[in-house]
Amino acid sequence: MAVLRTLERLALGRRDSVAGTVYGTIVVMATLAAGSKGDETQPWELATVVGVTVVVLWVAHVYAHSLAEGLEQGSRLSVDELRSVARRELAIPLAAVAPVATLGAAELGLLATQTAIWVALGLGVAALGYQGVRYAALEHLGRAGTLVSVSLNIALGLAIVALEASITH
């Protein structure tokens, strides 16, 4: 049971990390779209670009939030408080785990590179849809609100997929 919860957290984030998961997913999808070079794409190179991009943005996000919280408190954050901010924002780089693993499968020859890119983008669209459901549930939005939330998230994901398609084809 603990393994399943860990895998769910890696793939979908925690209930309190909807924003970080959505942000990380969008960053990953945009990086996949921008870094893809069609048939010339090297999966390990693209996986590295995706991974480094989300880690750099996560560090910047943690830094910015730490500065803001320190200013609100009127003092520097302690190491424990900084760790807490970093943990809270961990959903951003965790959003890259499944897409990077998919690209790793392509590097190992288990998937064609273009298939891996499309699967990674599909995982992103699915994650955005799921986060839309999660957000709607957290906010008690009802059916109509859930439909709007999911639709907006998926539309954003599909816009990124369309961007990828227009760049590589």
Where are the chain's structural domains?
14-168
CA dist., res. 102 & res. 121, Å (int): 10
CA dist., res. 153 & res. 123, Å (int): 13
pTM for this structure? 0.81
Tens-place pLDDT, residues 76-98: 888 888 888 888 889 999 999 99
- Which 8-state DSSP code applies to residue 25? H
Tens-place pLDDT, residues 29-45: 989 988 888 888 899 99
Name which of 152, 157, 155 is nearest 123 in CA terms.
Answer: 157
| 120 Cβ contact partners less than 8 Å away, ≥ 6 residues apart | 28, 32, 98, 99, 102, 103
Mean pLDDT, the chain, integer: 86
The beta strand positions in the chain, using DSSP E, are none
